[in-house]
């Protein structure tokens, strides 16, 4: 499976094309819309989320609720486009209009964004040309594609969930959700204002967001993605670019504002001896091989072990501050306080939804690389047989 996303933040629409999905997979717009709505939620989101009520249109690759095996095209219209037709128009500018007179032109790059370097790289004197595509609005389509991937995984008995474990230094107590299944965790998270599974920490996170907002500042945090039901052996040890941990980490790092990834105990492993890190192997008739603990987060030697995959990512605080940082105007070269395009105090809850979807997409891709049937039924059969084989290995 491969996919592309396209579209500018204030352009007419966002698009994704997915190729390589098996035929006969159930797919309906509603499955995707549910996830798009979650991406737009979470305490700490502001004005743009009220303007855009994202809804997907599937315009190819699906007939009567099932995939055809042909490319699936997904589109989300930007409701705000109607206010931007002049500024973001596709047609050439009339000769009597100087591009420097276009409204909402940006010549003051925002620190922490792609504005300055993107402008240098592509020769844009109006940095809006960079902002429009580098904006996290693109993550809408990453979630849409991920929702399709999640449906694929679900049909194979693989379930994903994400939750927020830290915002601005407020951390969850893992005991609050230890031992919960992915389904139970999802029920709690979906009803929490910051998509957190620890109610005590959640209340403090909400307070931290409200207080940082008053100060015109922003907060980052940590999100965790858990995948249950992945069979052992997805990924490979034989070549560096087939390693599943590398692929999942790359996917996490590809999300705007994500600056670090850990798997299982992650950076904690630097502090403790090997005996407290590695997971002992056991076998039982009904489960087959399993690990007595899951400190390595379901990945060994670049492959899934069959235990839940646990991966976390850290999001930096949003760089657009109402208390803006100093920058330099690219026309005058004079110092200036940076332009405020729009800003939320915290997008960590929304980012947890994005993280779940990019991870689901990467795992679905890895599975499709290894099990190659062209129909969903064929794939299910292959995977079931493989699961039986590894159990008795
Ligand atoms: C879901 C989500 C929402 C975001 N919302 C904003 C925002 O409102 N304002 C902002 O300045 N940055 C926001 N960002 C972060 C920027 O997109 C990101 O920092 C920027 O594109 C620069 O990329 P980098 O941080 O990966 O270097 C958001 C990121 C995500 C994942």
The yes-or-no verdict on residue 339 having pLDDT over 70 is no
Write down all domains in the chain, each with its CATH number in brackets.
2-392 (3.60.150.10)
By residue count, the chain amounts to 393
Among protein residues, the one whose CA lies closest to atom 20 of ligand 1: 113
| Ligand 1 pocket residue status of 134, Cβ below 6 Å | yes
* Ligand 1 centre distance from Cα of residue 114 (Å): 10
Token digits for 357? 């979807």
Index of the ligand 1 atom closest to the CA of residue 113: 22
| Ligand 1 pocket residue status of 318, Cβ below 6 Å | yes
Among protein residues, the one whose CA lies closest to atom 1 of ligand 1: 351
| Ligand 1 pocket residue status of 320, Cβ below 6 Å | yes
* Ligand 1 centre distance from Cα of residue 120 (Å): 20
Place 336 in a pLDDT band, splitting at 50, 70 and 90: confident
- Give pLDDT, residue 39: 96
- Give pLDDT, residue 338: 60
* Ligand 1 centre distance from Cα of residue 348 (Å): 10
| Ligand 1 pocket residue status of 256, Cβ below 6 Å | yes
Q: DSSP letters along 57-98, please?
A: EEEESEETTEE-SSPEEEEEE-GGGGGTTTTT-SSPPPTT--
pLDDT tens-digit map of 248-306? 999 999 999 999 999 999 999 999 999 999 999 999 999 999 999 999 999 999 999 99
Q: What is the Cα Rg of the chain in Å? A: 22
pLDDT tens-digit map of 141-155? 999 999 999 999 999
| Ligand 1 pocket residue status of 153, Cβ below 6 Å | no
Q: What is the mean pLDDT of the chain?
A: 95
| Ligand 1 pocket residue status of 257, Cβ below 6 Å | yes
- Give pLDDT, residue 63: 98
Among protein residues, the one whose CA lies closest to atom 17 of ligand 1: 136
Q: DSSP letters along 105-142, please?
A: ---SPPTTSSHHHHHHHHT-SSTHHHHHHHSGGGHHHH
The yes-or-no verdict on residue 51 having pLDDT over 80 is no
How far CA 36 is from CA of 70, 147, 159, 187, 270, in Å, comes to 23, 9, 18, 17, 37
* Ligand 1 centre distance from Cα of residue 390 (Å): 42
Among protein residues, the one whose CA lies closest to atom 19 of ligand 1: 257
Index of the ligand 1 atom closest to the CA of residue 39: 1
| Ligand 1 pocket residue status of 75, Cβ below 6 Å | no
Index of the ligand 1 atom closest to the CA of residue 319: 11
Count other C-beta atoms under 10 Å from residue 77's C-beta.
Answer: 15
Nearest CA-CA partner of 373 in 389, 356, 386: 386
* Ligand 1 centre distance from Cα of residue 196 (Å): 20
Q: How far apart are alpha carbons 182 and 221 in whole angstroms? A: 21
Where is 362: in which H helix or E strand? helix 348-370
Percent of the chain at pLDDT > 70 equals 97
Place 47 in a pLDDT band, splitting at 50, 70 and 90: low
Which of 108, 319, 352 to mutate for ligand 1's pocket (most ligand atoms within 8 Å of CB)? 319
* Ligand 1 centre distance from Cα of residue 151 (Å): 27
Which of 109, 136, 251, 340 to mutate for ligand 1's pocket (most ligand atoms within 8 Å of CB)? 136
| Ligand 1 pocket residue status of 255, Cβ below 6 Å | yes
User: The pTM is what?
Assistant: 0.97
Among protein residues, the one whose CA lies closest to atom 22 of ligand 1: 113
* Ligand 1 centre distance from Cα of residue 354 (Å): 12
Q: DSSP letters along 236-300, please?
A: -SSSGGG-HHHHHHHHHHTSTTEEEEEETTGGGGGTS-GGGTSPPEEEETTTEEEES--TTTTEE
Among protein residues, the one whose CA lies closest to atom 24 of ligand 1: 257
pLDDT tens-digit map of 215-250? 989 999 999 999 999 999 999 999 999 999 999 999
- Please give the average per-residue pLDDT across 84-91, as a whole number: 93
């Amino acid at each position: 499976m491969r996919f592309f996303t396209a579209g500018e933040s204030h352009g007419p629409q966002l698009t994704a094309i997915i190729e390589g999905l098996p035929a006969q997979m159930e797919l309906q717009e509603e499955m995707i819309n549910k996830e798009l709505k979650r991406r737009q939620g979470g305490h700490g989101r502001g004005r743009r989320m009220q303007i855009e009520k994202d809804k997907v249109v599937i315009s190819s690759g699906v007939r009567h609720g099932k995939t055809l095996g042909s490319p699936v095209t997904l589109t989300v219209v930007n409701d705000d486009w109607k206010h931007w037709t002049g500024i973001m128009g596709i047609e050439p500018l009339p000769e009597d209009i100087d591009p420097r007179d276009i409204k909402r032109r940006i010549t003051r790059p925002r620190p922490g964004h792609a504005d300055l370097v993107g402008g240098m790289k592509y020769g844009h004197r109006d940095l809006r040309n960079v902002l429009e595509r580098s904006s996290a609005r693109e993550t809408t389509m990453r979630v849409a594609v991920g929702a399709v991937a999640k449906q694929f995984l679900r049909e194979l008995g693989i379930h994903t969930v994400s939750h927020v474990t830290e915002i601005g230094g407020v951390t969850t107590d893992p005991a609050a959700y230890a031992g919960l299944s992915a389904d139970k965790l999802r029920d709690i998270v979906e009803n929490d204002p910051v998509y957190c599974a620890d109610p005590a920490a959640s209340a403090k996170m909400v307070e931290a967001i409200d207080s940082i907002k008053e100060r015109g500042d922003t907060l980052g945090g940590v999100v965790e993605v858990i995948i249950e039901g992945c069979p052992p052996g997805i990924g490979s040890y034989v070549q560096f670019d087939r390693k599943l941990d590398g692929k999942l980490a790359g996917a996490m790092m590809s999300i705007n504002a994500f600056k670090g990834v850990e798997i299982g105990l992650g950076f904690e492993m630097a502090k403790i001896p090997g005996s407290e890190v590695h997971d002992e192997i056991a076998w039982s008739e009904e489960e087959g091989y399993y690990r007595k603990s899951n400190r390595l987060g379901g990945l060994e030697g670049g492959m899934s072990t069959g235990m839940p995959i646990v991966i976390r990512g850290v999001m930096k605080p949003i760089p657009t501050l109402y208390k803006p940082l100093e920058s330099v105007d690219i026309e005058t070269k004079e110092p200036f306080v940076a332009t405020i395009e729009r800003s939320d105090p915290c997008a960590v809850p929304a980012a947890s939804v994005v993280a779940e979807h990019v991870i689901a997409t990467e795992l679905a891709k890895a599975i499709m690389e290894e099990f190659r049937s062209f129909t969903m039924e064929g794939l299910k059969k292959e995977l079931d047989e493989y699961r039986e084989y590894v159990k008795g290995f």
